[in-house]
């Protein structure tokens, strides 16, 4: 398992644990991310510096 740190639009950091073989789509669909941010999985944008996933 790996831990991904996600920042929401309010500046709060969320630590999400997922499997290393999960895809970006599976990561977005995790209930913890959608419940904490309150947005649909298809509207979540994951970025690392200037690269969007």
CA dihedral (41, 44, 49, 53) positive or negative: positive
**Residue extents of the structural domains in the chain:** 2-38
46 and 27 Cβ atoms separated by less than 8 Å: yes
pLDDT for the residue numbered 21:
92
Residues 6+ apart with CB under 8 A from 39: none
Whole-number Å distance between alpha carbons of 9 and 26: 21
Going by C-alpha positions, the residue among 1, 2, 11, 5 that lies closest to residue 33 is 5
| pLDDT tens string 1-53 | 898 888 877 778 888 888 889 888 888 888 888 887 778 888 888 888 888 87
């Amino acid at each position: 398992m790996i831990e991904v740190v996600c920042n929401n639009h309010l500046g709060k950091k969320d630590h999400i644990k997922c499997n290393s073989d999960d895809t970006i789509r599976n990561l977005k669909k995790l209930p913890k991310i959608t419940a904490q941010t309150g947005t649909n999985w298809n509207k979540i944008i994951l970025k690392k510096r200037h690269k969007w996933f």
